[in-house]
Amino acid sequence: MKSKPSKQNQMTYPRAGAQMAFARGATAFGAFSVGALAIGAVAFGFLVIGRLAVKRFILQHGAIDRLTIHELEVGRLRVRELITEEKA
């Protein structure tokens, strides 16, 4: 006995164009995600390097050879040695 193919047994496949569009979208999303992860890793690396530089600066007694400040307002100041320039 032969069975008739019914509409419930028939499989339908999406068009190739829809599959290609989905594949392109998934690829673009994947590339975007990888790029975002890479940018985050680089930013995290800069943060760690900056913190290490600050720690290294602090461990070297925080010595600054010369500092120029154009305008400064200070409420309280402690100075170990006061050197003033004489104007001739």
Residues 17-29: what's their mean pLDDT? 85
The string of DSSP codes covering 7-68 is TTT------HHHHHHHHHHHHHHHHHHHHHHHHHHHHHHHHHHHHHHHHHHHHTTT--S---
The band of 85, judged by pLDDT with boundaries at 50, 70 and 90, is: confident
Closest CA to 34 of 46, 24, 26, 45: 26
The pLDDT tens digits for 60-84 are 666 667 778 888 888 898 888 888 8
Lowest mean pLDDT among 13-17, 26-30, 33-37: 13-17
